[in-house]
Chains A and B, each alone.
Chain A
Amino acid sequence: EDKVVQSPLSLVVHEGDTVTLNCSYEVTNFRSLLWYKQEKKAPTFLFMLTSSGIEKKSGRLSSILDKKELFSILNITATQTGDSAVYLCAVEGPGGTSYGKLTFGQGTILTVHP
């Protein structure tokens, strides 16, 4: 059974701090790893990673994948209160269509205090 584990489960920091969120996985026939940000209800897409060692960046957020060690990290620098959310990691395995099936981790709850 495919498994995605995120750590830590929750994190409380102050504005300006840098945080690192972890995601490890065991997925048969890995295709890609995705990060989502979930505020209130609907997850919104952040990154998709398919190749080891290539960093994806978007503003203060960056992510990298290690396919040998089966993990990914999401970094957020200079955190702001608006970064408070649940961060979800999902791994795409083979599915019924060309684009596979997502298995999500349990999420990391990030709280940023002013």
Chain B
Amino acid sequence: EAGVAQSPRYKIIEKRQSVAFWCNPISGHATLYWYQQILGQGPKLLIQFQNNGVVDDSQLPKDRFSAERLKGVDSTLKIQPAKLEDSAVYLCASSLGSYEQFFGPGTRLTVL
């Protein structure tokens, strides 16, 4: 079974630039999550999708972050414009509906 795919693996941008991350969940997984993990901290949930609907985006900074999950499969997370404090690893996870979330390898974002 293929795991959760994410791209790119690394991204370096200047502040105020835009960036987008892509996630393809495990086939058949209805629930998709985006997490932000700042160095030295645990992952923080940004947004949770059930199929193509948002069920929790309470911690998403909506003035600069946006996410979509078209057709209930893959998803894109965008930051526009980026700030220095957005430097982090962005993790995507999916679940079939059980408690077990399967995580992708993450994208390490560095904002200079």
Tell me the A residues contacting B by CB distance below 8 Å.
4, 32, 34, 40-45, 48, 88, 90, 92, 95-99, 101-107
User: How many pairs of A and B residues are in contact by the CB < 8 Å rule?
Assistant: 63
Q: In the complex, A48→B98 CA distance in Å?
A: 11
Chain B residues, Cβ within 8 Å of A102: 43, 45, 101
Question: Which residue of A44, A95, A105 has the most chain B CB atoms within 10 A of its CB atom?
Answer: A95
**Are B42 and A106 in contact, with the CB atoms below 8 A?**
yes
The A contact surface, by secondary structure, is strand
**Are B44 and A41 in contact, with the CB atoms below 8 A?**
no
* CB nearest to A40 among chain B residues: B105
21 contacts between A and B (CB under 8 A): A4-B42, A41-B89, A41-B105, A42-B91, A42-B104, A42-B105, A90-B42, A95-B48, A95-B56, A96-B55, A97-B48, A97-B97, A98-B97, A99-B31, A99-B97, A101-B45, A101-B48, A102-B43, A104-B44, A105-B42, A107-B42
B8 to nearest A CB, angstroms? 13
By Cβ-Cβ distance, the 9 closest A-B pairs, closest first, are A96-B55, A104-B42, A41-B106, A42-B103, A96-B56, A104-B43, A45-B100, A43-B103, A106-B42
Q: In the complex, A7→B98 CA distance in Å?
A: 28
